[in-house]
Structure 1
Amino acid sequence: MIQKQFAEKAVEKLKTDPQVLGLAAGGSYITNELDEFSDLDLVLITKEKISGQKEKMLEYASKMGQFIDGFTGEHVGEPRVLICLFDNPLLHVDIKFVTAEEFKERVENPVILWERENTLSQIIKTTEASWPKLDFQWIEDRFWIWVHYITLKIGRGEYFEALDSISYLRMNVISPLLQIKNNQLPKGMRKVEFNFEKADFNNLKKTVPEYEISSIIRSLEKEIELYNELRKKLYPGDVVLKNELQKKVMEYFTKIKTKVQATDEK
């Protein structure tokens, strides 16, 4: 696989640098699920902190292969990651720059490609990887206000705004909850085509609207329906449900839905 070939060459380029403590690979590399469409997730561990210094991050990336271009990952909340494109062959590579101390806090145990003096092996042996748990209360505290916001956009006729907001709920609420239901980590839309039961996948598809008011309303209704079902199935008893808020929002949604549909039929 081109990803493994790239990783092997990167090791040879980096291991002579005394600042480098190791290079590891995460994601699909761990489970040996790489295919021709996989990107490569690398973790570069250094003695001194490199992240936050974009020029140094780019310098290290340029050592690994035929570097075309890259940018840091603030948009996904991870400025320590340099998102890169390499050539010959064309390959997407995400490189996370961390120190040994930062490597102790990780979401998975990556495959160690190379390390200096067992540094990474010792850290993995003495610390635990932990994927952030989905905060059910955080979702419940926000969900119905999000629904109200989308209803406002529907009522005003801002359908693109409604479409984007429905997509946000799918990505950040509905799909992560369905991931948990299907015994997966709550990784948004990651591999839903392969990991979800058929019924769950079909329900998720029904949350994807067209640019047409009745379709937008049906999709939002489906998200509300799925959320109520998943909340009942997955949430522990200590989650405080916003029942009064839900009631008021749904009354308003019904009012706006009736008004919009009456207008649309004229």
Structure 2
Amino acid sequence: MTDMTGTLPPLHATFLENLIATLRRDGRFEALLAGGSLVHGGFDVHSDLDLVLVVRHEHHEAVMAGRRTFADGIGALISAFTGEHVGEPRLLICLYGPELLHVDLKFVCLSDLDHLVERPTVLWAENPDGIAATLGRASIEWPDRSPEWFEARIWTWLHYGAVKLQRGELFEAIGMLGFISEQVLGPMLHRRAGRPQRGVRRIEDDGPATAALRPLVARHDRESVAKALNQATRLYLDLRNDQPPRPTTPGFPELLLPLLTVG
């Protein structure tokens, strides 16, 4: 169990101290875990708190039903919404204030800790040895995508951006370029550097990766968008060579190229 409140920015430390005090008084909870930057490093005053609250199995349904009320009781809650849009209905995404703090609260049972994407830090546990043993048995695997996952999607997404370019819907095309960077090119650049595929998170710490992605940031201009889409195509083909998928998509990129030009 880690006491890191003394090393955190005051806003984050105070929030965690209040939350831990609340959990100690509430018999429905078994532990508080932390992930994200507290695990990967780089935590600073701008960081979110990615928290996992371990709930006793018999209380999980009731806690889930009342989680907004719970979140409101641990700070000055401004807004909160659930995480179905990221495939995680157990997640409550919260914004506290007036000094703004983003906190993700995920409510799980002990049995949910058998498969994890990262090894969390234990901030508090009623039974520290038991939590440590559970985490020690857990399978830890970051959800990296396969070469085939990227190949199956990239050409459809590039085609979408290209037809928006041809139609003059440049904001749509620019949005797709950002999406492709986050979903495909950023992860593949992380893969090239031997890191977990974390989208474009902290990609600026990698000079070559930043240089590769910078030309994909287009202006609201047809020629700029066309250049960015062409660069995205070339960058994908280069990164694909690191771990070629089997099979590759027939006819591409040749079928796409006429749509990546502007008159």
TM-score by length of 2: 0.88
In the alignment, the residues of structure 1 paired with residue 49 and residue 137 of structure 2 have an alpha-carbon distance, to the nearest angstrom, of 26
What do residues 123-166 of structure 1 show as CA deviations (whole Å, max 9, x unaligned)? 11112221112122021112122222222222222222211222
> Percent of pairs identical after alignment?
32
Tell me if structure 2 keeps the 8 A contact 1:144–1:245: no
**1:37 is aligned with what amino acid?**
H
- 1:108 counterpart residue number: 118
Find the aligned partners of 2:251 and 2:70 in 1 and give their Cα distance: 51
Shift of 1:100: 0.8
Q: Is the 8 A contact 2:118 2:142 kept in 1?
A: yes
| Structure 2 counterpart of 1:93, from 103, 107, 112 | 103
Deviations 1:23-70 (A, max 9, x none): 111111224532111111110010136479764111221232232321
Within 5 Å, which residues of 2 pair with 1:235-254? 235-236=243-244, 239-242=246-249, 244-250=250-256, 253-254=257-258
Q: Where does structure 1 lack aligned partners over 5 or more consecutive residues? A: 262-266
Are the equivalent residues in 2 in contact too, given 1:10–1:64 (CA < 8 A)? yes
Does the Cα contact within 8 Å between 1:14 and 1:63 map onto a contact in 2?
no
Q: 1:62 aligned to 2:72?
A: yes
Shift of 1:95: 0.7
**CA gap 1:6/1:169 in 2 versus in 1, 3 angstroms:** same
**Equivalent in the alignment of 2:83:** 73
Shift in alpha-carbon separation, 1:52–1:245, aligned structure 2, 3 A: farther
AA paired with 2:255? Answer: V
- Structure 2 letter corresponding to 1:94: D
Deviates more, 1:127-136 or 1:201-210: 127-136
Correspondences of 1:1-266 after superposition (within 5 Å): 1=9, 2-31=11-40, 33-48=42-57, 50=60, 55-87=65-97, 89-118=99-128, 119-194=130-205, 196=206, 198-233=207-242, 235-236=243-244, 239-242=246-249, 244-250=250-256, 253-254=257-258, 256-258=259-261, 260-261=262-263
Q: How far does residue 225 in structure 1 lie from its aligned partner after superposition?
A: 0.6
1:128 and 1:203 map into 2 onto residues whose CA distance is 34
Letter in 2 for 1:136: P
Segment drifting more, 51-60 vs 183-192: 51-60
What are the ranges of 5 or more consecutive residues in structure 2 without an aligned counterpart? 1-8
Task: Summarize the Cα distance change of 1:153–1:178 in structure 2 as closer, same or farther, 3 Å threshold.
Answer: same
Aligned with 2:140: secondary structure?
coil
CA offset digits 1:92-130 (Å, max 9, x no partner)? 111111111112221111111111223321211112221
Q: 1:159 to 1:55 in 2, by over 3 A?
A: same
Aligned length: 252
1:13 to partner: Cα distance = 0.7
Q: How far 1:247 sits from its partner (Å)?
A: 4.6
Output the CA distance in 1 between the equivalents of 2:40 and 2:148: 31
Verify the 8 A CA contact 1:85 1:91 in the aligned structure 2: yes
Give the deviation of 1:180 after TM superposition. 1.3
Which moves more between the two structures, 208-217 or 78-87?
A: 78-87
**Match for 2:164: what amino acid?**
K
TM-score for the superposition, normalised by structure 1: 0.87
